[in-house]
Every structure is written in structure tokens, then in C-alpha cells.
């Protein structure tokens, strides 16, 4: 999150960062279908990457522009967080830069 915060504040004004998480893959793919069923009682709260959003807010006073909006966020995001061992998500542009942080890949669309 530190790299995203530094890059965003250097390049763009505003507190809403366009970041998407593609972490519900492989054995975790069931997650997105499950959380939509909870929206009736707890709308928009259960999302993949929620802890990372909280870290972005707590440490850098930035919020995710797509918080609570899980649909098509990857297509519109400047930053996409995914697992490094998985293929690059299809919605990430071919021109994106990819940075690896442990098990995570940060794809940055320019």
C-alpha cells in the first residue's frame, strides 16, 4: 500500500485512489458469489481487499475509489492487486507495469 500511496499522491490530486483487488481466484473464487448474497443485510461491506483498503486509509489517509463497488472495478482501476502466481487478470491492460511484492503482484496502468 505504501507504493500505491506514494505513486498516487505524486501523480494525482485527491484522496480517492482507483485500486481493485483480483484476489478471489483459484480456491477462493467462491468468495465473490457468497458476499453478494450478504448485501441484503450488510451492503457493500464484505469485499476482497477490505483490510488493504483499511490500511490505505489508516496509514495514508487515502480511500479506495471503488470501495463498496465490486463490479467492473478492475477495468477502471489504475492499480490492480493480484496473486503473483496467478495469470495477470484479463482486464489489466497489456501496457501495465507489474511489481511483485512477496506473493502479490501490483499492476499499474499508465
pLDDT in tens, 67-91: 766 666 777 889 999 999 999 998 8
Helix (H) or strand (E) holding 100: strand 97-101
Q: Which comes out higher in pLDDT, residue 65 or 33? A: 65
**pLDDT band at residue 15 using 50, 70 and 90 as cut-offs:** very high
Average confidence (pLDDT) over 52-71:
85
pLDDT in tens, 21-47: 888 666 655 455 555 566 665 555 556
* Rounded Cα gap, residues 15 and 65, in angstroms: 8
Chain mean position to CA 60: 16
Crossing angle of helices 2-11 and 50-60, in 10° steps, is 60
- Please give the model's pTM, rounded to 2 decimal places: 0.79
DSSP-derived pairing of the beta strands 63-64 and 16-17: parallel
Amino acid at each position: 500500500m505504501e507504493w500505491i500511496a506514494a505513486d498516487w499522491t505524486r501523480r494525482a490530486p485527491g484522496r480517492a485512489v482507483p485500486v481493485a483487488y483480483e484476489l478471489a481466484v483459484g480456491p477462493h473464487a467462491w468468495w465473490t458469489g457468497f458476499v453478494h448474497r450478504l448485501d441484503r443485510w450488510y451492503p457493500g461491506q464484505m469485499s476482497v481487499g477490505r483490510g488493504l483498503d483499511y490500511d490505505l486509509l489508516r496509514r495514508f489517509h487515502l480511500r479506495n475509489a471503488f470501495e463498496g463497488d465490486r463490479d467492473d472495478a478492475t477495468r477502471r482501476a489504475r492499480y490492480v492487486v493480484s496473486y503473483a502466481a496467478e495469470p495477470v487478470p484479463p482486464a489489466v491492460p497489456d501496457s501495465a507495469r507489474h511489481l511483485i511484492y512477496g506473493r502479490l503482484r501490483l499492476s499499474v496502468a499508465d
